[in-house]
Structure 1
Amino acid sequence: MPPKIPSESSKGSALSRLGDPIVLLLTVGFIVAFVGLSLYDIDLVADSISAGFAWTAATLGTYFQLLLLLTFLIAIGVSISPAASARVGNLESPQIGTFKWLSMIMCTLLAGGGVFFAAGEPVYHFVVTPPAFDTEAGTAEAVAGALAQSFMHWGFLAWAVLGSLSAIVLAHAHYVKGQPLQPRTLLYPVLGERVMKGALGSVVDACCVIAVVAGTVGPIGFLATQVSFGLHELFGVSEGYATQLGILVLLAGVYVTSAMTGIHKGIQILSRFNVFLALAIAAVILVAGPTLFLVNAFSQGFGEYLSSFFTMATMTAETAPAWWMQWWTVFFFAWFIGYAPLMAIFVARISRGRTIREMILAVAVMAPVATAIWFTLLGGSGIHYQLTGAIDLSEALNNFQFDVATLTVAQALPGGSLMALAILLLTSIFVATTGDSMSYAIAVVCAGHDAPSPLVRAFWGIAMALMAGILLYMGAGQIGALQQFIVITAIPVSLVLLPSLWAGPRAAYAMAREQGIIAPTATTATRAD
């Protein structure tokens, strides 16, 4: 049985209500230190993080890639095993309906990053041929490789590490053994009770929370700059700090309110609305846009993705330019690793009553295919317009100006400015769904149970918005520096995920035996006796 939620009378001081004091001290201490050091010497902070980012990418990039690849392959193996029929949380039917459940998965895990890069990344790989391919950039032959490379970064490997094996371990530990929904629980199979009580477990949780804060503040801050740029281009609104701050306040108001109302209300409603809006935009693009080109591009791009899957997944700095690996594959993979423990907590929480097979296939197969379709609709349209000369994003993308790319492609789509406004709204809500779910997940980690106080959820949501606002005041460069920092935090977080490679299958089979789906082994039967 899961642990009981503490009563109001037993929660103690105001500080303790925010959760584990060590996690709070380390996490808030990181926020204050990052902001303080940035105010003291902004160049020192940016240069130090950049050096750490480059070292991490060069030294551990291959390790990160193998971790994602093994996670996906083992998860698929579990999904086709007899144990995959076991249900999360020992419920005979799901707590959350299928559409609502899939909506929350898509909106939380794809988030603003996927929407932010969906238009620009495929076009970038079209104008700068990825190292896995030898086609001439900017030609019709380069289309399949450009989409395939984008699918690799946002496909099976990225999604699998966010909520498959680690979610199984957490689900079994929490719903069966009564252990807390905290990252430290992922290390229990290796370290036992030592990690569950005391400072070590708190440090583990804090590392994972810091990684998520770094990864979430980035999209929140970048969204403010992207929307202010879009409003300036579309309506002539000033894109200065005042506009960015107003956007930030509005965004924080939305996702903090959503987080406070919880999974079954705000988070669910916001996710459903976003999915409906995304489907409407997708339908307009598919029907009124370059339909035949998009259908052919998806078919060729996904086919290339599957045929070149292992080549792209295992490419290293020895076979590709170091700068390319650092800023593309390794950056994205490390970003996903940083998010993984808290995303797994969220997936385990919303998947109660689902079978392990449903959970793995939804996260590691269905969601990546849906992401590939979305990237084809936006990025494929951008490639089409670039190929035909309707737009030219070469200079903007070589300078990594993805906000320019998104708006330019959006304005070239059917509907022009109206479509651009819709995509800006969609991006905003995607970031909001990340903000609310991560505020909730951080609160769960700090509280140690899956019903944290609404005020605790609000605290973390507001804290991330405040950090984004302060860093934006210093300049978008500090938001970028914080974004790079998540690659460094991926080092300790990856060690938290590592035991799931063997603990995930073991937890799945343990759940299946406990639910009578498969016969207990001789060892298990002996222990039971």
Structure 2
Amino acid sequence: MSEKKSFLGKVDRPIFTISAIIMVIFVAWTLLQPKAAGATFNGVQKFITDNFGWSYLIGVTFFLVFALYLAFSKFGKITLGKDGEKPEHSTWSWFAMLFAAGMGIGLVFWGVAEPMYHYSSPPYGEKSSVESAQIAMRYVFFHWGLHPWAIFAIVGLSMAYFQFRKGLPALVSSSLYPILGEKGINGWIGKLVDILAVFATIFGVATSLGLGATQIASGLNYAYGLPTGMTTTVTVIVVITGLFITSAVTGIEKGIRFLSNTNMLLIGIIVVFMLIVGPTRYILNGFSETLGSYLQNIVQMSFWTDTFKTNDGWVGGWTIFYWAWWVAWGPFVGAFIARISKGRSIKEFILGVVFAPTIMSFVWLSIMGNSALFIDVVQKGGIAAQVAKDISTAVFAMYQYFPLTGFITLVTTLIIAVFFITSADSATFVMAMFTSGGELNPSAGLKITWGLIEGAVAIALMVAGGLGALQTASIAAAFPFMLVMFAMCVSLIKAFKQEINVASVKPQVNNYNPTTTQPSKPV
């Protein structure tokens, strides 16, 4: 570990050096050989999806069941910190930061695009029908509901518990202390786990950056007639990279929390506006109907692999991609959630992380998705046709059917930009933590370095294959980290069982000692 005062500050040399060198090589190869890189990405995606797609479905469903079990078990009373410690952030700010860091860009990008795509190309059933519209909204809820937030909850809970309850560094490897012991988490296995977390974070965030930049370019085209294309998209990535690096350097208190609260206000403006001028009754009926259908079919959707090829490639291109994307986001969203959740009980943490953002997501998806479906299904509009041409223009195409088009287009573009910044600066902050030995306040230089690498990876993937390359990066990076998540679950149970006195169900503070020595590197 480097303790010298330098631009990077304190760094864990093996983790930082290996991660940085591999990412620089990856960016250089992708930019110099975009066609070869694109072909490689396609091959990797097909191999993983065809042979291991089922494992994502079973694994992510297990994480949801496991998280709910922990919340309602005797372990739910344990505090993520010392007993009696109070949360650092208000509940409102906590929810806002959860929502902004966890899903922002994707929700705005896919809020209209995904239901309209499924409406015209459903996983099964007749295309462009009332049935396909119902299926579309059900799967949108499924892809953005309880399952992804359970992933974030498992990683976040593991990191928060071992950081704030047991005094270990803010690293993914610390979550495996009951399995690996002190020697293991400080040795090559622990380093490998943290490097995998860095890779998953970079590729997961790069997917979001690519989506966000594409949609911002489309929004600027609709609002101001600016040209779209790769040049514009890359320019947007460069500009936003500068902004999110600035936000990350200012820290959680000044930057991320302020932007998260601001964006919740902007989202509220869009939600209220669309409820007033949109098909209000249709939206509310659709929300109720879809919620019931989602809950009724959640088990079937959780395990459906399309064995009989009803719509070959649909599950791989949508559900498996989403589950891999969320797992890839797990290290940085989980670490960020852990960072802002000190002082909350395990039950409060899991219920808050799993249910509160899910409900907020469902409200947004119902308003945007049902407004678009109303135009096409009832009024026979042409949003689905526009989505087929350019999926990034979906939400702006829908706005053409409502008043104050320019205003809501501008506000939505601003929302995307802020979500872009909050997601990326959260990731930058977390990667700096991972490569500094778990520092809760890593140096500005380290944040700047990882911010530049994030932007470069996003540009490289866009040049190499656009959305397809972005999807492949998430799927490939997520697979090894999913195995780490299973180990986290085992580790949590081992730690909780030692801490809890079964007879009294009373947390026993800081007496965790599975080996014969305490960790030598507490935060």
Matched, 1:501 2:489: yes
Q: Distance in 2 between matches of 1:455 and 1:513?
A: 45
Matched, 1:254 2:276: no
Deviation of residue 431 (structure 1)?
1.5
Residue 484 of structure 1 corresponds to 472
Deviation of residue 468 (structure 1)?
3.1
Contact map agreement 1:169 1:507 (CA 8 A) in 2? no
Contact map agreement 2:171 2:433 (CA 8 A) in 1? yes
Partner secondary structure for residue 328 of structure 1: helix
Match of 1:116 among 98, 106, 109: 109
Write the deviation string for residues 72-110 of structure 1: whole angstroms up to 9, x where unpaired: 112112112232122211253111111111100000011
Contact map agreement 2:77 2:507 (CA 8 A) in 1? no
Deviation of residue 117 (structure 1)?
0.8
What is the TM-score when the length of structure 1 is the normalising length?
0.89
Q: Cα 1:379–1:112, aligned 2, differ >3 Å: closer, same or farther?
A: same
Matched, 1:67 2:59: yes
Give 1:122's aligned amino acid. P
Matched, 1:204 2:193: yes
Contact map agreement 1:147 1:302 (CA 8 A) in 2? no
Match of 1:432 among 405, 414, 421: 421
Write the deviation string for residues 487-523 of structure 1: whole angstroms up to 9, x where unpaired: 0111210111012333334545656659x85277xx9
Matched, 1:36 2:7: no
Matched, 1:300 2:289: yes
Matched, 1:381 2:371: yes
Q: Distance in 1 between matches of 2:26 and 2:163?
A: 34
Deviation of residue 347 (structure 1)?
1.1
Matched, 1:21 2:13: yes
Matched, 1:468 2:458: yes
Deviation of residue 230 (structure 1)?
2.1
Q: Distance in 2 between matches of 1:485 and 1:256?
A: 22
Residue 92 of structure 1 corresponds to 85
Write the deviation string for residues 129-149 of structure 1: whole angstroms up to 9, x where unpaired: 223xx4x33233433321111
Q: Cα 1:417–1:25, aligned 2, differ >3 Å: closer, same or farther?
A: same
Matched, 1:270 2:259: yes
Q: Distance in 2 between matches of 1:478 and 1:141?
A: 31
Contact map agreement 2:244 2:421 (CA 8 A) in 1? yes
Give 1:496's aligned amino acid. V
Residue 411 of structure 2 corresponds to 422
Partner secondary structure for residue 368 of structure 1: helix
Matched, 1:310 2:299: yes
Residue 520 of structure 2 corresponds to none
> Does 420-429 or 387-396 show the bigger shift?
387-396
Q: Cα 1:512–1:15, aligned 2, differ >3 Å: closer, same or farther?
A: farther
Residue 455 of structure 1 corresponds to 445
Q: Distance in 2 between matches of 1:251 and 1:39?
A: 20
Residue 232 of structure 1 corresponds to 221
Deviation of residue 405 (structure 1)?
1.3
Q: Distance in 2 between matches of 1:50 and 1:242?
A: 23
Alignment of 1:91-240 (within 5 A): 91-131=84-124, 134=125, 136-162=126-152, 164-240=153-229
Residue 3 of structure 1 corresponds to none
Contact map agreement 2:336 2:430 (CA 8 A) in 1? yes
Q: Cα 1:407–1:78, aligned 2, differ >3 Å: closer, same or farther?
A: same
Contact map agreement 1:83 1:518 (CA 8 A) in 2? no
Contact map agreement 1:220 1:431 (CA 8 A) in 2? yes
| Ranges of 4+ aligned residues in structure 1 off by more than 6 Å | 523-528
Deviation of residue 319 (structure 1)?
4.3
Partner secondary structure for residue 435 of structure 2: helix
Match of 1:366 among 356, 360, 368: 356
Deviation of residue 306 (structure 1)?
0.5
Q: How many residues align?
A: 510
Give 1:64's aligned amino acid. Y
Give 2:28's aligned amino acid. G
Match of 1:338 among 313, 325, 328: 328
Deviation of residue 245 (structure 1)?
4.3
Aligned-pair Cα RMSD in Å:
2.7
Matched, 1:283 2:275: no
Give 2:39's aligned amino acid. D
Instruction: Identify unmatched segments of 5+ residues in structure 2.
Output: 517-523
Deviation of residue 15 (structure 1)?
7.8
Q: Cα 1:138–1:441, aligned 2, differ >3 Å: closer, same or farther?
A: same
Give 2:222's aligned amino acid. E
Q: Cα 1:510–1:386, aligned 2, differ >3 Å: closer, same or farther?
A: farther
Deviation of residue 398 (structure 1)?
4.2
Q: Distance in 1 between matches of 2:282 and 2:218?
A: 29
The share of aligned pairs that are identical, in percent, is: 26
Partner secondary structure for residue 300 of structure 1: helix
Deviation of residue 59 (structure 1)?
1.5
Q: Cα 1:170–1:511, aligned 2, differ >3 Å: closer, same or farther?
A: farther
Deviation of residue 128 (structure 1)?
1.9
What is the TM-score when the length of structure 2 is the normalising length?
0.90
Residue 519 of structure 2 corresponds to none
Give 2:105's aligned amino acid. G
Q: Cα 1:21–1:15, aligned 2, differ >3 Å: closer, same or farther?
A: farther
Q: Distance in 2 between matches of 1:45 and 1:357?
A: 44
Partner secondary structure for residue 274 of structure 2: helix
Q: Distance in 1 between matches of 2:395 and 2:15?
A: 37
Write the deviation string for residues 138-166 of structure 1: whole angstroms up to 9, x where unpaired: 2334333211111111110111101x233
> Does 76-85 or 350-359 show the bigger shift?
76-85
Q: Cα 1:390–1:492, aligned 2, differ >3 Å: closer, same or farther?
A: same
Contact map agreement 2:207 2:470 (CA 8 A) in 1? yes
Deviation of residue 11 (structure 1)?
1.5
Contact map agreement 1:57 1:326 (CA 8 A) in 2? yes
Q: Distance in 2 between matches of 1:307 and 1:20?
A: 48
Q: Distance in 1 between matches of 2:198 and 2:76?
A: 30
Q: Distance in 1 between matches of 2:282 and 2:308?
A: 32
